[in-house]
Amino acid sequence: MNAPSAAPTTGSPPHAATRPGQGGSEFLPAVKNAALAALVMLGLSIPIIAFRTENSMANELILLPRWRVVAVLCLIVFAVRLLLNLGGIHIARRRSAKRREILVTRVEAPTTLGQRIFFYAAPVLLGVAIGYPLITTLVNGGLSESRYWIDLGILVLTYVMLGWGLNIVVGLAGLLDLGYVAFYAVGAYSYALLAITFGLSFWICLPVAGILAALWGIMLGFPVLRLRGDYLAIVTLAFGEIIRLVLINWVDLTNGGAGIASIPRVSFFGIPFTADEDGFAATFGLEFSTMHRIVFLYYLILVLALVTNIVTMRLRRLPVGRAWEALREDEIACRSLGINTTSTKLTAFAIGAMFGGFAGAFFAVRQGFISPESFNFLESAIILSIVVLGGMGSQMGVAIAATAMVAGPEMLRNLGFLSAVFGDGFDPNEYRLLLFGAAMVAMMVWRPRGLVSHRDPSIVLGERKAISGALVKEGHG
Smallest separation (angstroms) from another protein to the CB of 443: 21
Question: Under a CB-based contact definition with an 8 Å cutoff, are residues 477 and 226 in contact?
Answer: no
Instruction: Please tell me whether residue 457 binds another protein under the rule CB under 8 A.
Output: yes
One of 36, 62, 83, 337 touching another protein (CB under 8 A):
337
Lay out the site mask for another protein across 283-312 (x = CB under 8 A, - = otherwise): ----------------------------x-
Instruction: Please tell me whether residue 339 binds another protein under the rule CB under 8 A.
Output: yes
Smallest separation (angstroms) from another protein to the CB of 455: 6
Smallest separation (angstroms) from another protein to the CB of 209: 20
Instruction: Please tell me whether residue 465 binds another protein under the rule CB under 8 A.
Output: yes
Smallest separation (angstroms) from another protein to the CB of 313: 11
197-234 b/e (C-beta count within 10 Å ≥ 16 → b): eeebebeebbebbbbbbbebbeebbeebeebbeeebbe
Nearer to another protein, 94 or 99 (CB): 99
One of 60, 287, 430, 463 touching another protein (CB under 8 A):
463
Smallest separation (angstroms) from another protein to the CB of 225: 13
Nearer to another protein, 112 or 290 (CB): 112
**Which one of 195-203, 287-295, 333-341, 399-407 is the stretch in contact with another protein (CB under 8 A)?**
333-341
Size of the site for another protein (CB under 8 A): 38
Smallest separation (angstroms) from another protein to the CB of 477: 17
Residues 6+ apart with CB under 8 A from 357: 183, 184, 186, 187, 190, 209, 210, 211, 212, 213, 214
Instruction: Please tell me whether residue 319 binds another protein under the rule CB under 8 A.
Output: yes
Lay out the site mask for another protein across 72-111 (x = CB under 8 A, - = otherwise): ----------------------------------------
Instruction: Please tell me whether residue 347 binds another protein under the rule CB under 8 A.
Output: yes
Question: Under a CB-based contact definition with an 8 Å cutoff, are residues 457 and 463 in contact?
Answer: no
Instruction: Please tell me whether residue 314 binds another protein under the rule CB under 8 A.
Output: yes
Q: Rounded to the nearest 10 degrees, how much is the dihedral formed by the CA atoms of 77, 79, 83, 86?
A: 100
Task: Give dist(CA 418, CA 428) in Å, integer.
Answer: 8
Smallest separation (angstroms) from another protein to the CB of 338: 3
CA dihedral sign, ordered 427, 430, 433, 438: negative
Question: C-alpha distances in angstroms, 418 versus 45, 93, 427?
Answer: 19, 36, 8
Question: Under a CB-based contact definition with an 8 Å cutoff, are residues 259 and 370 in contact?
Answer: yes
Q: What is the largest CA-CA distance in the chain?
A: 84
Smallest separation (angstroms) from another protein to the CB of 185: 26
Task: Give dist(CA 175, CA 352) in Å, integer.
Answer: 11
One of 263, 300, 302, 334 touching another protein (CB under 8 A):
334
One of 56, 105, 336, 414 touching another protein (CB under 8 A):
336
Instruction: Please tell me whether residue 467 binds another protein under the rule CB under 8 A.
Output: yes
Count of Cβ atoms closer than 10 Å to residue 317 Cβ: 12
Measuring CA to CA, which residue among 191, 134, 187, 157 is closest to residue 309?
Answer: 157
Smallest separation (angstroms) from another protein to the CB of 49: 44
One of 315, 361, 401, 451 touching another protein (CB under 8 A):
315
Nearer to another protein, 205 or 392 (CB): 392
The string of DSSP letters for 117-154 reads: HHHHHHHHHHHHHHHHHHHHHHHHTSTGGGHHHHHHHH
The residues facing 52 across adjacent strands are 64
The residues facing 54 across adjacent strands are 62
Nearer to another protein, 95 or 464 (CB): 464
The residues facing 260 across adjacent strands are 370
Q: If phi over 0 gives left and psi between -120 and 50 gives alpha, with beta otherwise, what is residue 72?
A: alpha
**Which one of 47-55, 154-162, 212-220, 469-477 is the stretch in contact with another protein (CB under 8 A)?**
469-477
Instruction: Please tell me whether residue 1 binds another protein under the rule CB under 8 A.
Output: no
Instruction: Please tell me whether residue 332 binds another protein under the rule CB under 8 A.
Output: yes
One of 19, 52, 99, 335 touching another protein (CB under 8 A):
335
Looking at 80-199, which runs of residues are DSSP E strands? Answer: none
Backbone angles phi, psi at 53, to 5 degrees: -90, 135
* Residues of the shown chain interacting with another protein in the complex, contacts defined by CB under 8 A: 311, 314-315, 318-320, 322-323, 325-326, 329-330, 332-341, 347, 455, 457-465, 467-468, 471-473
